[in-house]
Amino acid sequence: MDKIHIIGGVPLKGAITISGAKNAALPLMAACLLTDETLTLSNVPYLADIVTMANLLAQHGVTLSFRPHAQGRSLALNASKIHNFTAPYDLVRTMRASVLVLGPLLARFGEAKVSLPGGCAIGTRPIDLHLKALEAMGAEIKLEDGYVHARAPHGLQGATIQFDKVSVGATENILMAAALAKGDTVIRNAAREPEVSDLAHCLVQMGVKIDGIGSDELRVSGVAQLHGAAHVVVADRIEAGSFAAAAAITGGDVELLGARADMMQATVAALTDAGVTVSETPRGLRVSTTGRLRGADLMTQPYPGFATDMQAQMMALLSVADGASMMTETIFENRYMHAPELTRMGANIVLHGASALIRGVPKLRGAEVMATDLRASVSLVIAALAAEGETVIHRVYHLDRGYERLEEKLAGCGARIERIWSRKPLQVEAA
Ligand code: UD1
């Protein structure tokens, strides 16, 4: 398996271009299933998860073509010849977001069979909210042999859905289902993440009326047919936040080109509390640190709160801050797998249930560490960039799921980082 070697201690200096958001591109790709016309997405990041979603859609019968584009890679998707309504275990197991095909397949074809995602590295992550909401819209749902069989032979009906928990994926699935349902659907306690709004804006372009975009109450007026559209995927706020943490921990000065400050307010506030200077520029965000970092207390929350997807990166940063910090994870259980690895690099972290007490140390030291999930992996990269000596990160396939050209982007700012390939790199022009 590939490894990443990093020799720490170089302050990052320069500019990094932020890619399109993985978590926006995945639901947008699934939205192609809602129409027999072509949906063209640009600024699509080239990542393992995008390839997985492409393969999933292809086996349903979608034709896909990746092309170079002025605004990043573009992807044309056409779902006029769908012949298979099953999302198989092998694909759903590798990427939970595969469950996003459920809503659109069911809404357009009255039928879908999707493998249950099963356990995952950051907790149980059920899909009960997705299923209950689809039932409220008239779907018949059966669970058999590890699969969800959903049927709506006479189509879905608009309904009022009150989620008892904020879920990004459930909000997206129901938004897509509601687009082709008869009548109006009201989604209460909807997720407000920018990626949900990006999907909603694309659905509007495809012909649906949606009120309340960006709020926790979405009202969708379903239509009989949707048409094609061209949509630019929003910038990846988590990638931007990750590079911001990398710049900050090394005492660097980096401009994040295309980063959207308006979508990263909680991350900017967290960095600022920790003594990092963050300012908006005409091209994005500039992040720099001159003095020592200082401890800060953080709690993960649904958007606009501090993102669970930034928790590991901030923990790496706070592990070398002056004083103590308290981190509380409220979204996922078991999302501190990076903590023991950071401890192996010299961090002083004590876990207690959903909380982590981080007592800042003057310096981290390089070590051999193991990546366990996407954001945990990048937190080890961030720690390694500031550590004394060499760090070797194993299982970097997790990073390939969510960070496009990570080594190249960091090396462009002076980082001493190298990937040791154990296999050939992914081919860029995959179908
Ligand atoms: C999305 C993101 C992921 C991010 C997460 C939270 C994508 C592809 N992934 O994941 O990067 O970490 O949002 O911001 O966009 N839950 C239930 N029942 C359900 C669905 C969710 O109990 O039916 C719970 C989950 O276990 C979790 C919480 O709700 O505790 C939030 O999960 P959710 O927002 O659904 O996460 P994802 O959409 O899977």
Contact 127 CB / ligand 1 (< 6 Å): yes
d(CA 414, CA 116): 43
**124: CA distance to ligand 1 center in Å?**
10
User: How many Cβ atoms from other residues are within 10 Å of residue 183's Cβ?
Assistant: 13
Give the range among 252-266, 268-282, 296-310, 412-426 with minimum mean pLDDT: 412-426
- Tokens representing residue 367 in the block: 């070590």
Say if ligand 1 is within 6 A of residue 168 CB.
Answer: yes
Annotated catalytic residue within 32, 120, 202, 413: 120
Cα separation of 65 and 78, whole Å? 9
Mean pLDDT of 361-375: 93
Euclidean distance between CA atoms 343 and 392, whole angstroms: 15
Between residues 24 and 370, the one the model is more confident about = 24
> Per the confidence metrics, is the pTM higher than 0.85?
yes
Res 131: pLDDT: 96
- pLDDT at position 154 over 80: yes
Residue nearest to atom 3 of ligand 1 (CA): 309
Instruction: Return the residue whose CA atom lies nearest to atom 29 of ligand 1.
Output: 167
Q: Are 12 and 407 in contact (CB under 8 A)?
A: no
pLDDT tens, residue by residue, 180-193:
999 999 999 999 99
Helix axes 128-136, 102-109, angle to 10 degrees: 20
Q: Which residue has the least CA distance to atom 39 on ligand 1?
A: 169
Q: Does ligand 1 lie within 6 Å of residue 331's CB atom?
A: yes
Instruction: Check pocket membership of 291 for ligand 1, CB cut-off 6 A.
Output: no
Percent of the chain with pLDDT over 90: 89
pLDDT at 144 over 60: yes
Q: What pLDDT does 118 receive? A: 65
- Ligand 1 near 311 CB (within 6 A): no
Mean pLDDT, residues 86-111: 96
Mean pLDDT taken over the chain:
94
Pocket perturbation via mutation, ligand 1, pick of 167, 238, 331 by most ligand atoms within 8 A of CB: 167
For ligand 1, atom 4, which residue shows the shortest CA distance?
309
Instruction: Kindly state if the Cβ of 12 falls inside 6 Å of ligand 1.
Output: no
- 97 CA: nearest ligand 1 atom: 8
- Looking at residues 351-376, what average pLDDT do you find? 95
Ligand 1, atom 17: nearest CA belongs to which residue?
A: 126
What is the rounded average pLDDT of the residues 380-396?
A: 96
CB of 26 sitting under 6 A from ligand 1? yes
211 pLDDT above the threshold of 60: yes
Split at pLDDT 50, 70, 90, the class of 426 is low
Check if 120 is active-site. yes
Contact criterion met (CB below 8 Å) for 162 and 189: yes
Give residue 341 CA to ligand 1 midpoint distance, Å: 24
Distance between Cα 173 and ligand 1 center (Å): 12
CA distances to 347, 353, 369, 371, 394 from 340, rounded to whole Å, are 9, 14, 9, 11, 15
**Nearest Cα residue to atom 8 of ligand 1:** 23
Residue 95 Cα to ligand 1 midpoint, Å, equals 13
The residue whose CA has the least distance to atom 32 of ligand 1 is 167
Substitution candidate for ligand 1 out of 165, 197, 306 with most atoms within 8 A of CB? 165
User: Is the distance from the beta carbon of residue 119 to the nearest atom of ligand 1 less than 6 Å?
Assistant: no
